[in-house]
Amino acid sequence: MQFSAVIGQQAIIHRLCNMAQQQRIPNTLMLCGPAGCGKMAVALAFASYLLGERNEGKSLLTDEASIRNAEAMLHQYSHPDLHFSFPVIKPSGASSDHKAVSDDFIGEWKTMLSASPYFTLETWLTAMGAANQQALIGAGESDVLAKKLLLKSSQGGYKVSIIWLPERMNVECANKLLKLLEEPPHQTIFILVCEEPELLLDTIKSRAQRIDMKRINDADMAAALVERRALLPEDAQRIARIANGNWLKALESLDVNSENTQFLDMFKMLMRLAYQRNVKELKRWSEIVATYGREKQRRLLSYCLRMVRENFMYNFGEPSLCYMTREEEEFSQKFARFINEANVIPISELLQTARQDIGQNANAKIVFFELALQMIVLLIKK
């Protein structure tokens, strides 16, 4: 994977390339940053560069045939000196004494990476076919990795080990990995890609050079949306602002069947029925929402909270303060005037209380019907 496939993050890319060119790469790098900023994309691009992939026409390898060979293997994520470790579940049909390792799901992993280097743990769990199983990196993984890295580099250069979500290692695996980091095999580079680095052992963190990545800036994200998704510049800028530096969130906003589209419809229905004081239909609305799972109900309430905030800010006539899609803004043009100084805080508190009640397993039908009835009163406040 080339650096050009990474969205934004030019300062980080420049820093990593300088390390490589000056031959001052630490044995262990730890990439941290907010969700959707491209940590894995940067890790893959840097690993590819170390193993011979060209960047701006230049490669760390000198022989053209070797470069072409390396790039062909890296394109398939099958380079023998590139190793992956990641959380896994126990494979279906495995014996009771089998220790699950990344190689059990390496085919699914490469397929997912080929689709996009931007993904979530939920995406990976789905790819593995996990139901309610918890994905972990176990002791068997560190044993397999140690054996792989003790072998001499097949291409005579670096060996790169990318460990995704190392904070999901169990204690035995973490302790074994620590020994590898303390005495790394010759010309081996470890790249840890972390979502929650605070969960890692302090001894592991002390062995790594931490690089904190920032969210993708709006300009870079908008440019990527125009180039990769053929959006109009105005639409790309709007989605980039809403995504707040998270490429995955930007893609979610583009999905016409996304959850947010459904949530917008439910928000519209709630507000219109409350304004009309249509108690019968509000009861039906609450029964529909009650059929959602509890996590989805909480996400709906979070979405409603955001829409209340955005509609209140819309009244100030400052577009830079609002973060809405075109569809949301079209609704807000007429609705925003109903969210004002007198009711914005009570409505927000009402939604927050409902979200808390749902989290504590309260009866969903009662919670949402009570919410709907109180909304009738709050919407007429001026």
**240 and 127 inside one domain:** no
Per-residue pLDDT at 108 exceeds 90: yes
- Please give the tally of structural domains in the chain: 3
- Tell me the β-bridge partners of 190: 28, 161
Mean pLDDT of 243-257: 82
**221 and 307 inside one domain:** no
Token pair of 306 as six digits: 């955001």
**243 and 179 inside one domain:** no
3-state secondary structure of 159: strand
pLDDT value at position 43? 96
**193 and 66 inside one domain:** yes
Mean pLDDT of 269-280: 95
**116 and 265 inside one domain:** no
**60 and 112 inside one domain:** yes
Token pair of 116 as six digits: 């996009």
CATH number of the domain within which 83 lies: 3.40.50.300
Task: Tell me which of 235, 254, 273 is where a domain ends.
Answer: 254
**296 and 337 inside one domain:** yes
pLDDT tens column, 44-82: 999 999 999 988 888 888 888 889 999 999 999 999 999
What is the rounded CA–CA span in Å between residue 230 and residue 249? 17
Q: Which helix (H) or strand (E) holds 302?
A: helix 294-314
DSSP 324-356: --HHHHHHHHHHGGGS-TTTHHHHHHHHHHHHH
**233 and 266 inside one domain:** no
**242 and 287 inside one domain:** no
What is the rounded CA–CA span in Å between residue 59 and residue 38? 22
**206 and 327 inside one domain:** no
Mean pLDDT of 264-268: 94
Q: Point out the least confidently predicted range of 56-65, 166-175, 219-228, 249-258.
A: 249-258
CATH number of the domain within which 353 lies: 1.20.272
pLDDT range class, residue 382, cuts 50, 70, 90: low
Whether the predicted model's global pTM rises above the 0.85 cut: no
Range of the domain at 147: 3-214
**151 and 162 inside one domain:** yes
**113 and 130 inside one domain:** yes
